[in-house]
């Protein structure tokens, strides 16, 4: 133990409980205390990022994500989280560079591909975003949250027939999900 009577799982439980009950400032204090004892614990760094995001402290969220990369370079989530924070800070070039490093290490990871797609979409690089959407569609078709931004990329590139095919697949896989229903309704309205 690194100078604390509490082990990381105990901190995690306390922080999670406070975060879920809306006691963000208490969770923030606990995160700082936990990381002072266990600065490289992966789960504590992840929850720290969640807490800092909940506080809208983008600098601290970016710091925790970069610490996750430094201490756990073989874990995909640090790259995704850091790139997402950079994207929120409108530091798109850095976000693209960082998620590219993540993609080199984890070329088929669904969260890494999804993060790359959304960052390139925000950067208005629709062709590249669509390429990551294509890859998600082929290897992770059950990952429902990617369909809406992917269809947006297809529409922006005037690939309307392909967008229709993707919407049909989304609707067949997720017929009761709001995302799929909205995509289907949007398609019907476009055809009017």
pTM: 0.90
Give the number of domains in the chain: 1
CATH code for position 146: 1.25.40.10
Q: Is 171 part of a structural domain of the chain?
A: yes
Q: Is 28 part of a structural domain of the chain?
A: no
Q: Is 183 part of a structural domain of the chain?
A: yes
How would you label 8-27 residue by residue, b for 16+ Cβ within 10 Å and e otherwise?
Answer: beebbebbeebbeeeebebb
Q: Is 169 part of a structural domain of the chain?
A: yes
Q: Is 174 part of a structural domain of the chain?
A: yes
Q: Is 150 part of a structural domain of the chain?
A: yes
Query: What are the pLDDT tens digits along the chain (192 aa)?
Result: 456 789 999 999 999 999 999 999 999 999 999 999 999 999 999 999 999 999 999 999 999 999 999 999 999 999 999 999 999 999 999 999 999 999 999 999 999 999 999 999 999 999 999 999 999 999 999 999 999 999 999 999 999 999 999 999 999 999 999 999 999 999 999 888
Q: Is 185 part of a structural domain of the chain?
A: yes
Domain span at residue 185 reads 106-192
Q: Is 141 part of a structural domain of the chain?
A: yes
CB 134 within 8 A of CB 146: no
Cα-Cα-Cα-Cα dihedral of 86, 92, 98, 103, to 10°? 120
């Amino acid at each position: 133990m690194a100078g604390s009577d509490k082990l990381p799982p105990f901190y995690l439980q306390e922080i999670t409980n406070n975060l879920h009950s809306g006691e963000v400032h208490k969770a923030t204090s606990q995160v700082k205390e936990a990381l002072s004892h266990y600065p490289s614990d992966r789960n504590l760094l992840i929850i720290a990022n969640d807490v800092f995001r909940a506080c809208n402290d983008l600098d601290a969220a970016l710091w925790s994500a970069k610490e996750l990369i430094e201490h756990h370079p073989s874990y995909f989530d640090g790259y995704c989280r850091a790139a997402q924070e950079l994207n929120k800070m409108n530091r798109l070039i850095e976000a693209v560079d960082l998620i590219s490093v993540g993609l080199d290490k984890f070329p088929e990871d669904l969260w890494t591909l999804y993060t790359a797609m959304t960052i390139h979409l925000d950067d208005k690089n629709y062709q590249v975003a669509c390429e990551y959407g294509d890859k998600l569609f082929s290897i992770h078709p059950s990952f429902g949250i990617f369909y809406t931004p992917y269809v947006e990329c297809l529409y922006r590139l005037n690939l309307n027939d392909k967008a229709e095919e993707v919407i049909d697949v989304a609707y067949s896989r997720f017929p009761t999900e709001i995302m799929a229903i909205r995509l289907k309704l949007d398609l019907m309205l476009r055809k009017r």
